[in-house]
Amino acid sequence: MSAVQTVVVVVVLYVLGSAARKILGDEARARIDDLPKTMLRLAARQLPADEREKWLIDWESNLLIPLLTETERYPLTRFLRSWRFGFDLMLHATRIRAELTATKPPVLNLVAWRKAAVDTACVTSLVWVPLHLLSPGTFWGIFAAGVAGVSTLGIEVLTFKRSYYAFDTTPMVVEAGVLRTLLGRKLIFRLLMLVLLPLAVLEGIAHVARGGSPRRMRKHRDVKRTRRAPR
Amino acid sequence: MSEMKDVRVTLAVAAILNAFLEGMGQAQYGYKLMTETGFSSAKVYQILARLVTAGWLIRHDDPDASPASGGPPRITYTLRPEAVPRARRAVTTARAPLEAAPQKRRFTLPGFQPGVVTGWDT
């Protein structure tokens, strides 16, 4: 390839790259601006069917203020304000539903407390899992699920605490429920209870069936580690 | 005219009612109330839903209005004239404990500071 051809190729690549970067930037910006609208639609879906449209119109027309007028020159501010507007409504739309349907969520939600008790029992049950018998995959799976479950439980408790200091205390159970769903705590505990714990039990049974015992297994592992250790 | 119902007035509801009373005659809308009170969007709309359901607020829909042209958004709210005395009473009642012992409160409400004369008392 001659020098002229190389220069032409470089120039063409540069122009194409610039155009692609601009197109991708515009695409990303449009999608970022569209996401709060999606959040608003998700929030509206939590309202009674006959109320959805008019509240969605209200929210979308208010969303235009941070999107268009206030922060036209400041993309980061626009992004933060519009996302906060949409995300907060999406997270707490059940409060608005409770107001519209005039059915206040009970402060003492027995179902929620029962679920919390079951979750706590799940976490406690981890203590009895013979972790040293497990394969690394199962061990780290249980570890990650346990940490994630306890963390989400902690965040939920913090939410309760925050709601306590807020002015309306009644929707706190609903708020915690939505947060729990968003964080996927239910999914985490199902994974733990239905997949990882049975797997752990099966691995333990298989180990014992092979003639091993937890004590011997530990001793065997320690011996192997000592052999591997550098002198 | 639909009947007005009683509303559970928390401090947050009182702050929103205060904003309506201060801006009497002006169209109020969600984003404006958010910036005036410092509340989140969900809290503002929760209270608006409560007040609309109880018949304290009138909801106006102007399809031609758009913030893009510098005006208010399409949906605006005004306080129903019959609700004004109730709103004033509610705000005064909510403000009384704050004025009695403001130093003991662990929080303050933006736009609803204790002891501030807001002009609509007269």
Q: Is A9 on the interface with B (CB under 8 A)?
A: no
Packing angle, helices A75-101 and A52-64, rounded to 10: 160
Per cent of chain B over pLDDT 90 is 31
- Taking CA atoms, A173 is separated from A98, A159, A187, B114, in Å, by 12, 9, 19, 30
The answer to whether residue B1 sits within a structural domain is: no
When pLDDT is cut at 50, 70 and 90, the band that residue A25 belongs to is confident
- In whole numbers, what is the pLDDT of chain A averaged over residues? 72
| Ramachandran bin of B113, using left for φ above 0, alpha for ψ from -120 to 50, beta for the remaining angles | beta
- Which domain range does residue B43 map to? 11-114
What residues contact B77, with CB distance under 8 A and at least 6 apart? B20, B27, B28, B29, B48, B51, B52, B57, B58, B59, B60
Chain B interface test: which of A52, A54, A168 (most B C-beta within 10 Å)? A168
Instruction: Show the tokens assigned to A129.
Output: 């899992």
pLDDT above 60 for A171: no
Task: Using CB atoms, pick whichever of B29, B42, B73 lies closest to residue A88.
Answer: B42
CATH of the domain at B67: 1.10.10.10
Contacts of A59 in chain B (CB under 8 A): 30, 41, 45
The answer to whether residue B4 sits within a structural domain is: no
Work out the average pLDDT over A3-20.
89
Cα nearest neighbour of A68 on chain B: B68
- The reported pLDDT for the residue numbered A219 is 54
Cα nearest neighbour of A71 on chain B: B68
Q: Is A55 on the interface with B (CB under 8 A)?
A: yes
Contacts of B61 in chain A (CB under 8 A): 54, 57
The answer to whether residue B75 sits within a structural domain is: yes
The answer to whether residue B47 sits within a structural domain is: yes
Work out the average pLDDT over B107-120.
48
Interface contacts (A, B; CB < 8 Å): 85
Chain B interface test: which of A62, A63, A81, A162 (most B C-beta within 10 Å)? A62
Per residue in A48-104, pLDDT (tens digit) is: 888 889 999 999 888 888 777 655 677 777 888 888 899 889 888 888 888 888 755
Radius of gyration of chain A (CA): 27
The answer to whether residue B121 sits within a structural domain is: no
Closest CA relative to residue A134, chosen from A212, A194, A189: A212
What span, in angstroms and rounded, lies between the C-alpha atoms of A191 and A185? Answer: 10
* Binary contact (A89, B45; C-beta < 8 A): yes
* Binary contact (A64, B66; C-beta < 8 A): yes
The answer to whether residue B92 sits within a structural domain is: yes
Contact B67, A63 (CB under 8 A): no
The answer to whether residue B6 sits within a structural domain is: no
- The reported pLDDT for the residue numbered A114 is 61
3-state secondary structure of B116: coil
* Binary contact (A66, B106; C-beta < 8 A): no
Per residue in A115-158, pLDDT (tens digit) is: 666 666 666 666 666 666 677 777 777 777 777 766 766 666 56
The answer to whether residue B5 sits within a structural domain is: no
Number of domains present in the structure of chain B: 1
Q: Return the DSSP state at B23.
A: T
Report pTM: 0.56
- The reported pLDDT for the residue numbered B118 is 43
pLDDT above 50 for B83: yes
* Matching residue, tokens 């239910």: A186
Least-confidence region, from A16-20, A193-197, B34-38? A193-197
